[in-house]
């Protein structure tokens, strides 16, 4: 755990910020490379990625603020910690997707093919980004006696994020990073083999919903927001709708592709 790379005077370079920048640049590179292979304007896809990232970051912070409103409303000084936290990913997705759709239409990019080239970039970005969470100490797991537990010891993370120290925890950040890496490899494999436009993007939504739903049971960070009297976290609740919605749109996309591919009579 290394939340700080170095400190000079009042300036601190946080590992989380550096790794998030790496995640974004790597994801953008992957998306641009996939766009060129698909015959889509890579420069416009890169622009779309920037707009979506800004919207996604804002959405993730707003969702975190909404979920933890009871805490932040009583601790206004802690609002600064929003800039040091990853936020809620699904909040970023909820705001980032509409912005991506708007920009794709404005730039006259083909919608579903464009989403297909973006999906692997998002997955690899998450894989790297969760390592930033590991370094910062956020998104930590519940206490465990597992042999592969991790223990945070830097008090700086406790002061800034509330990370528990000297307690063995599930390495949820590592779990998600590895699973997103596997998801990325799967999407890269699927991309040249897809049967219809949108298959890669929707497959990402389905797979990540399953990943996130399962990992939420191991998360230990408090004030996460719960529904159904504590049965599900906010992210699990959203994951259910994402999973069902994505699963439902698959046959529609497949039928539309078959209709377009059918010869005219």
DSSP state of 56: H
> Where is 203: in which H helix or E strand?
helix 199-216
Top-confidence residue, 76 or 27? 27
DSSP 10: T
Taking only the tens place, the pLDDT of each residue in 93-150 is 788 888 888 999 899 999 999 999 999 999 999 999 999 889 888 889 999 999 999 9
Q: Which of 8, 11, 14 is nearest to 135 (CA)?
A: 14
Domain ranges, residue 80:
4-261
**What is the model's pTM?**
0.84
Give the number of other Cβ atoms within 10 Å of residue 262's Cβ: 8
Beta-carbon contacts of residue 258 (< 8 Å; ≥ 6 apart) = 196
Q: Distance (Å, rounded) from C-alpha 94 to C-alpha 255?
A: 26
pLDDT digits (tens, 9 = 90+) for 162-221: 788 999 999 999 999 999 999 999 999 999 999 999 999 999 999 999 999 999 999 988
Secondary structure class of 150 (helix, strand, coil)? strand
Backbone phi, then psi, for 75, in 5-degree steps?
A: -135, 70
Express each pLDDT in 64-75 by its tens digit: 666 665 555 555
- Structurally, the chain folds into a number of domains equal to 1
From residue 168, give the alpha-carbon distance in Å to each of 42, 85, 165, 223, 224: 45, 21, 8, 20, 20
């Amino acid at each position: 755990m290394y939340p700080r790379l170095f400190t000079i005077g009042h300036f601190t370079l946080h590992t989380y910020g550096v790794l998030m920048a790496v995640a974004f640049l790597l994801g953008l590179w992957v998306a641009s490379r996939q766009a060129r292979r698909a015959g889509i304007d890579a420069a416009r896809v890169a622009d779309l990625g920037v707009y979506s990232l800004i919207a996604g970051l804002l959405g993730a912070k707003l969702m975190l603020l909404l979920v933890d409103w009871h805490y932040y409303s009583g601790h206004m000084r802690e609002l600064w910690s929003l800039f040091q936290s990853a936020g809620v990913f699904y909040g970023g997705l909820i705001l980032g997707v509409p912005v991506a759709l708007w920009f794709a239409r404005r730039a006259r990019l083909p919608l579903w093919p464009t989403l297909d080239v973006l999906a692997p970039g998002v997955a690899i970005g998450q894989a790297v980004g969760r390592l930033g969470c590991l370094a910062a100490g956020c998104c930590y797991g519940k206490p465990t006696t597992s042999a592969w537990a991790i223990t945070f010891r830097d008090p700086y993370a406790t002061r800034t994020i509330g990370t528990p120290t000297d307690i063995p925890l599930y390495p949820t950040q590592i779990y998600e990073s590895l699973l997103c890496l596997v998801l990325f490899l799967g999407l890269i494999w699927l991309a040249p083999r897809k049967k219809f436009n949108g298959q890669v993007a929707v497959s990402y939504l389905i797979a990540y919903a399953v990943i996130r739903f399962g990992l939420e049971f191991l998360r230990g960070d408090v004030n996460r927001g719960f529904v159904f009297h504590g049965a599900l976290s906010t992210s699990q609740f959203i994951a259910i709708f994402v999973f069902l919605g994505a699963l439902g749109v698959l046959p529609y996309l497949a039928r539309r592709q078959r209709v377009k591919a059918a010869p005219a009579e």
